[in-house]
Structure 1
Amino acid sequence: MEHVSLPSQHPLSSGRTTESRLVRAYQGVRQDIPPVWFMRQAGRSLPEYRELRVGTKMLDACLDPALASEITLQPVRRHKVDAGIFFSDIVVPLKLVGVDVEIVPGRGPVMGEAVRTSAQVAALTSIDPASLDDVIAPITEAVKLTVAGLSTLGDGNSSIPLIGFAGAPFTLAAYLVEGGPSKDHLAARTLMHADPASWSALMEWTADVTGRFLRAQVLAGASAAQLFDSWAGALSLADYEKHVAPASARALKHVHGMSYSVRPHDEGADPSVERRTVPIVHFGVGTGELLAAMRDVGADVVGVDYRVPLDEANRRLGGAVPLQGNIDPALLYAPWPVLEAHVRDVVSRGQSAPAHVVNLGHGVSPDTDPDVLTRVVELVHSLGS
């Protein structure tokens, strides 16, 4: 994928999010006040979300630009987090290119049929990933609406940045092969070894579909890009490196090197123009043994789940990578003194890394008290130097 300069009106090009806490932390510059946002901050934990979603299916909500934008903005208004995370779902690009998929309440994404034979893989991969570009308008429109909304929620000097996101190729492939959610991903792991040619074709296809989905969000105004590999923790390091990492790298090539110019504002400063790139975050669940491999596919920032302390994650990554994480979502239900001590410990351990964006070690659970999340944001912001 060729390197692309962001449009002049993009929030990074125009300067609206260029110096935001989140973006600069992702670029390895430690911030005086730790930036914080929460995975799954938009959604079922908020009463205003539940009210808005009445009578609307999940994927319909994702493809309604005004609705998706409003849902993305809700937690930013309520919690005063340092970023919006685009409200969508990792299977949206599959739906857009014609895959039979629905999100079943209480279960998750369910496919019309599981893709398990070479013939089924061949039929699926005959769909040109580039066809996504012809039907991506609901997503790009939602991003533009959201970026406009976030510009009103900043501090006057800068806008709140939007993070674009997509599912990693393995997680998408696992859903396709299993036909829906799975605890052990046996069918996917079997196909990987029993028919490596079909597996490779499937992974390249999911990489290009999800990579284009992520790229469209960035071009429309997202200031960072995050790839979620929800199920990579089911893999050994050897399987990840051989059968998965090449596809994750292929997906990230769609957003790698997207750049913008930064001009100095201070009088007397070096007048030369600095080029920066859109930061890329890679996160997986149960991936403590895969952290370095997940960085090596082309990530600038590594998200860490709640199982590995941040100082240990930093050691595994050689002390050179900004980290994101890793409050244990279970402790959001604990008495405040317990949660407060845990948050302080996470921030303290994060000091070992070049920079740290505070987040959960997985997503917000639906029955989390939103007032607790707001209180965590206030605590994190109070821990600045």
Structure 2
Amino acid sequence: MISISTPELSDADAAQLALQSDTILAPAMPLRLIRPTASSAPSNTLAPGGVAWGISAIRAHLSPFDGSGISVGVIDTGIDHSHACFAGVKFKMVDYTGEGVNDTDGHGTHCAATIFGRDVAGTRVGVARGVSDVFVGKAIGKGGGDSSMLVQAISDAVAHGCNVISMSLGFDYPSLAKRLHKINNLPIDLATAVALHQYRSNVRLFDRLGAMLAARPQAGQHEVLLIAASGNESQRNINRTYEMPAEPPSEADEFVSVGAVQRCNMGQLSIAPFSNVNCALCAPGVDVLSAKAGTKTGLVGMSGTSMAAPHVAGVAALRFQAARSGISTSISHFRAAPLARSRLLAGTSLENFAPGFDERQVGLGLVLAPQQ
């Protein structure tokens, strides 16, 4: 299990604690949403035949699995649980921001509905519509959030029993450096160095966290997959070589980093212009139709790797269910899906991509739902 402590330490105590081989010290790093953009496509093109195009692209509408019996964690801005997409879902909602559990942004609601949302007015938007046990960790609010909140939320989601944890957020290095310079009055070179140190420390922390969770099945504990959006900082629409690397925590060890693809000519797919490179795999992330917070039945199209990651989280839930379906009920369901990460990464395809992509952009390819 994960052990977390956030004591106030003197410099001397911190230096002494850092000498211990099983300890990583990391100052809290500010987080930011991997902010999507509103879709400009006509609404009637986002769900042809009553199925959101991303659901069809990953073949979730053909899968015999629906995620039943799988617990999912969503760490984001909270969820508007009153939306019709979440009918029948049992939520455990925890706020780490001090602002309350309500989703005042809408980001978390949109992402969650793509993972497990029910149909609304005959339109399918959710990948794993049978998921009914959900942990919601609000780690980003109007006042932001930080990496200590994220680590605690992951720990709590694991303790809740989640097999899949989805995150569409990233480390906010630029704002940290700016704050240290402008608010703390550090010289720009010192502010940059301090921010970089905190960034590196947090990357190491999440590497260790990923490794700890990956080792759980060997100890007979339930397996956990960490799914994270790779980021939206690339600008191929301006310059095709303007490609940013996947940002933390998505690129941490054992995390599944997700890039975004879009529809193009002849029903093929291409990399989204904003999607960062060096992702593990990719999923639909442009013109994604999902729940609109603050409404009972409203849907809205959004674009971003924030929208791609929930598709992968939904497929991960389907794959956990598929792995359990062939195992005797005498075996603990906590041990029923070893190697789930390998199964997820193996269930991808490069077949439907338009020419001109490279594997840095799409990873192992488009995630696909299990068909048997």
Q: Shared fold by TM > 0.5?
A: no
Q: Which has the higher helix share?
A: 1
TM-score by length of 2: 0.35
Q: Which has the higher strand share?
A: 2
TM-score by length of 1: 0.34
